[in-house]
Every structure is written in structure tokens, then in C-alpha cells.
Amino acid sequence: MNLELYRQRLERLRAYCRKVGAGEVHLDFERDFYGFVATEIAVGILGKIGKETQIKFLSSTMKLPGKVRRKGPFEVTAYVMSRWFQVGDRVVAAIADVLSEVFEAEPPAAVEEAWRRGMPPHVVWALAKYLGKDGFAASLPGQPYFTEEEIEYHKIRYEAMARLYAIRRLKGDRVEQAIRREVDEKTFSYRQEIERLRGKLARVPEKVAEKAIESDLYREMYEKVKAEFEEAQRQFAEASKEYEMEICRLRNEVDLLRSILARYIRQHLSGLTVCVIGDEGHREGYKEIVLEYGGHMNFVCGIEDASVVKQAVRSSDVVIAVTAYCKHKVFTPAKEEAQRLGIPMIICPSAGLGAFREAVEKLKERLEKAG
């Protein structure tokens, strides 16, 4: 065992720890050190017994990656020891549980029982020191189990593993810090938005109070407008009744006036046949107006033959010619025939029914003067 080589390696490891900022390492040579020794020897012995036995025992205390399970017992032991500062207490507790009956026997019998279970006294002694059973450890036969060089070797390994664990944690912390910085940078805008929303949320009660005041104001305004609207409805209903009565009265008066007008008109056109020369499309309109004035219509289309027009004039008492719809060859014979027979003839120069009504009015006035 070349202790000097291990010492040099440990010094280089210490220097590296100081360089990267992992110089402060907790080393417990009063208790944890013995648990470390017991674990290394016990796990190594289990590996010598069989890899399956070693893996089965360790699987109950820690999670072994698949790539570690596929390696040999020595590599498995090295992996466990590199993680001892994370899972050491559980592994030692499992070993102590396996050897629990050993500590109930007398020290000589305990050594024999340990051998029977495949564990040398080294493990029992280190485990007893770890558990604080110093008296039991000192009473074990066959001591010392470790030489001073072996103790120093295990202490070097213990400190080396502790420092390697500290370096891994430091790197992990740095990675965690880098991840946290990246997360902080990427979530900065979201955190700002959250703060903004929190600010808005804090102002919600105040706004709710303001809205409540506005709501009361609007409610008062609504009640006022509602009352005014109901009053307007009442007034409208009363006015509607008055207007309906007035409309009914006016309708009666109009009917009365129409009857008087009809009697008056019939005094002038009653029994007269009016020859209307005009548009076929206005025929019914012409007829309605003539009937309104008490006469009878004898209609002739403005494009009929001259003989038909003359016959219509001869069989009528008066003639109204709508020149907009009369051809010259129709209008001239009609005019000549009316003059020959002395039949009054009214010219309607426009095409609409309004103009036709004016022509009838002119006819009525002429008859009044003649009458």
C-alpha cells in the first residue's frame, strides 16, 4: 500500500477544492468515518459473495442506474462509496439490521456469528464504533483489526470521497444557479405581468366601491326616468283617447261633407254621359272620378278609328279629351263632331288623373254657368 501516493493525490484534491471554492468539507472521524469503513468492507464482501446478492442488498437502500447494475462488483462498490455522503446512513442502517443479532451476543460469539453471516470482524468492529458501542468494539477478540496504515488509508479515502462529493455539489449548485438565472431571464416578463396583475387585483376593492356608488346613482336615475316614462305613458294614453274621439268626429264630419258634395255634384252631372278619350291604363281611374261627380262614362281609347270616336261622341252629353293619349287623327274628328252637334268638349292637356279631375271641374263650372 503506497500511502505516500494517496497522500499526494489527496493534497492535489485539497488544492483543487480550494481553487473551485469547495474547500470547506465536514469530516466526522468520530462517527461517520467508521460507517464509511463498515460500508465499504461490507458492500465489497457482498460483491465477492455474488453480484446478485450485492445488487439485491443495495436495491433496498438506494437507486442503482442500469449502467451501474451491468458493471462488476468492484465498480458497483465504487459507485456506492461515491454516493455514500447521500445514502450512507441508509446503507449502514441496512447492514446494522442484518447484523442486529450479532450485537445481542457476547463479543466472542458475535465474531463467530459475523463470520457465519459472511462478515469479518472488521465490519462488526467498525459498525460498533459507528453505532457508539465503543465498549462492545473494544471487547471483540482478535484486535486490532486495522493497522495504523490501514486506518490512515481509510481516512484518506473518506476525506477524498467527501471532497469529491463537495465538488459534485458545487457543480450541481452552479448548474442550478445557471438554470435559475436562465429561468429568471426567460420568466422576467411573466413575473412583471404577474406583479402588474397583482397591483390591479389590489385595486379591485376600491374600484368595486366606486362602481357601487355609480350603481346607486344609476339606480336613482333609473327610478326617476322610469317614473317620468310612466307619467308620459299615462299622458299619452289620455291624449290618445282625446285624439281618437277627435278623429272620430272629423271622420263623421268628412262623411257629412262628402254626402253634401255628392248631392251638389249630382245637381250638375246627374244623368250626363261623359265621353272620355284617353289611356286604356287609366280607364278605371277616369270612371271613378266621373262617377264621383254623378255622371256615366263612355270610354274610347285614344288610338281607335275615327268612326268609333265619332259614334262615341254622338252618344254622349259631354266630351273630355286627354290629348296626351289622343292621336291627331282621333282628336280632330272628335272635336269636329262635338262642334257639329253642339256638345261641350273639355281638353285635358296632361296625362295624370289629377289633371283629369281638373278637367271634370272645368266641365262642372261650365255647366254651372250654362245652367
The DSSP line for 44-96 is: HHHHHH-HHHHHHHHHTTSPPPHHHHTS-HHHHHHHHHHTHHHHHHHHHHHHH
Least confident of 87-96, 167-176, 193-202: 167-176
pLDDT of residue 259: 65
Burial 227-256 (b: 16+ CB within 10 A, else e): eeeeeeeeeeeeeeeeeeeeeeeeeeeeee
Neighbours of 2 (CB within 10 A): 8
Among residues 191, 221, 364, 212, the alpha carbon closest in space to that of 293 is found at 364
Q: Comparing 163-172, 184-193, 224-233, 292-301, which segment has the lowest mean pLDDT? A: 184-193
Mean pLDDT in residue range 172-201: 75
Does the reported pTM lie above 0.75? no
Average pLDDT value for residue range 310-316 = 92
Kindly report the average pLDDT of the chain as a whole number.
84
Tell me, what's the pLDDT at 28?
86
- Work out the average pLDDT over 70-85: 85
Report which listed range, 73-82, 97-106, 128-137, 335-344, is most confident. Answer: 335-344
Write down the pLDDT at residue 44: 85
Reported confidence tier of residue 96, pLDDT bands at 50, 70, 90: confident
Q: Which residue has the higher pLDDT, 255 or 262?
A: 255
Checking if the pLDDT of 284 tops 90, the result is yes
Which residue would you say has higher pLDDT here, 23 or 369? 369
Confidence of residue 69 (pLDDT cuts 50, 70, 90): confident
- Between 173 and 25, residue with greater pLDDT: 25
* Mean pLDDT of the region 66-84: 85
pLDDT at 267 over 60: no
**What's the pLDDT score for residue 268?**
61
Q: What is the DSSP string of 118-145?
A: T--HHHHHHHHHHTT-HHHHHHSTT---
Residue 322 has pLDDT above 90, yes or no: yes
Query: What cell was used for 301?
Result: 281609347
CA 66 to mean position of chain CA atoms: 45
Report the CATH number of the 270-370 domain. 3.40.50.720
Region 275-301 average pLDDT: 91
Q: Which residue has the higher pLDDT, 329 or 51?
A: 329
319 pLDDT tier (thresholds 50, 70, 90) = very high
- Boundaries of every domain in the chain: 3-184, 205-269, 270-370
